[in-house]
Structures are given as C-alpha cells and as structure tokens.
Amino acid sequence: MAEQEQPQIYLISPPEFDLSSFSEALGRVLDAVEVACVRLALSTRDESEIARACDTLREVCHQRDVAIVIDNHILLAERHGMDGVHLTDGARSVRKARKQLGADAIVGAFCGTSRHDGMSAGEAGVDYVSFGPVGETALADGERAEAETFDWWSQMIEIPVVAEGGLTVDLVKQLGPMTDFFGVGTEIWKTDDPAQALKDLLAALD
C-alpha cells in the first residue's frame, strides 16, 4: 500500500431515499468534505427508479469532480455514464464487469470478512476490495471484519482496501493506519446534518 497521510472517504448512499432531498444533501456533503467516490447502493429493483438516481446523482458528483459507482448493475452503469460498479458477490463478477466496462472503469468488490475472496477479486482485476462490517451489527450472522484483516492486507497486498459498515470514531482511529478508504453511509445519512456527522466521524484522523 502506498504511503499516505490518511484514508480517503468513500460515501455510500442509503438503500432508500427521496431523490430530490438526497441529491441536495449529497451536494452539501461533497461541498463540505473532500470525497474520493460515491456509491449508489439502492435496494430497489425498479429499473426506472435506479436510472433516475443514476442520472441525478451523476450530475451532482461530476459537477464536483467526484467519481460515482453503482452496486452490481453493470448495464445501467454503462448506459448512464457511471464511473464503474461495486460488486457485492466477491470475485465472481469481476472479469465480466471489467470486460463489459473496459479498463478505465472502476470495478470494486465487497468481500465481507474473507481475505481469500479479497485476494481472488484482486487476481481477477479489481481496483479495490471492501471488507465489512467493521462495527457491531445484528445483520446476517453478526461476523465482523477485524482490524487484523486490514493490518495484514495493508502490509501484504497492494490493492486499495475499504473499511465499511458500522463505523465509529474509535474504529476510524484504530483502522486509519491500515485502510485506504472509509466507506461511510448510514452512519451519517440518518443524522440531521450529514456533513457535520462526517466531520465528527473523521475527527480522529486529524
């Protein structure tokens, strides 16, 4: 991993939102804090709803020179001018996405808590690997991506790594030296002032 001052910020949208109000909130956050990338992570399977979100949020991001990717939908990413895809099935779709979107697209993979899946995704050509959740959760089986995983990855693997899921100030402080990106989502969007919540979350890095 290249030497760096501190991890970059990778914003993750809520799974559901009102497009008008969220696009305004996203713009305020991007204006307040330096962000490397935004991920559109809608839970809906409604193609028209996803398409509208792609077009609206792409404009918000690209006006500020921020990249935007979308969860899983390779065809929609290509059709709506997104910068790439975030794949939630580990390494399984990486080669397909890379072939479809080309060498310049961002292709990332969420690999849960599995180093093996992360290495497989790396061999398949991802631009980054994401591990999580790093914080306490009652979702799925409650398994967490431990600091040891990020420490090992940062020392052994060149591919950038994202820490996401259940971030707290203490976890940001602990994982800061071991990760390239913090994937921040519901931690800030459920608050009244997402921009300030993000600043508060990242205060430990300063």
pLDDT digits (tens, 9 = 90+) for 7-62: 999 999 999 999 999 999 999 999 999 999 999 999 999 999 999 999 999 999 99
Q: How confident is the model at residue 138, as a pLDDT?
A: 63
pLDDT exceeds 80 at position 96 = yes
Contact 169, 203 (CB under 8 A): yes
Confidence at 204, pLDDT banded by 50, 70, 90: confident
What is the dihedral sign for C-alpha 12, 161, 91, 132?
A: negative
Q: What percent of the chain has pLDDT over 70?
A: 96
3 pLDDT exceeds 60? no
| Band of residue 5 on the pLDDT scale cut at 50, 70, 90 | low
State the Cα–Cα distance between residues 151 and 179, nearest whole angstrom.
8
**In the beta sheet, which residues pair with residue 11?**
38, 184
DSSP result, 38-100 = EEE------HHHHHHHHHHHHHHHHTTT-EEEEES-HHHHHHTT-SEEEESSTTTTHHHHHHH
Q: What is the pLDDT of residues 146-189, one digit of tens each?
A: 999 999 999 999 999 999 999 999 999 999 999 999 999 999 99
The answer to whether residue 71 scores a pLDDT higher than 60 is yes
- pLDDT, position 137: 72
| CATH architecture, range 8-205 | Alpha-Beta Barrel (3.20)
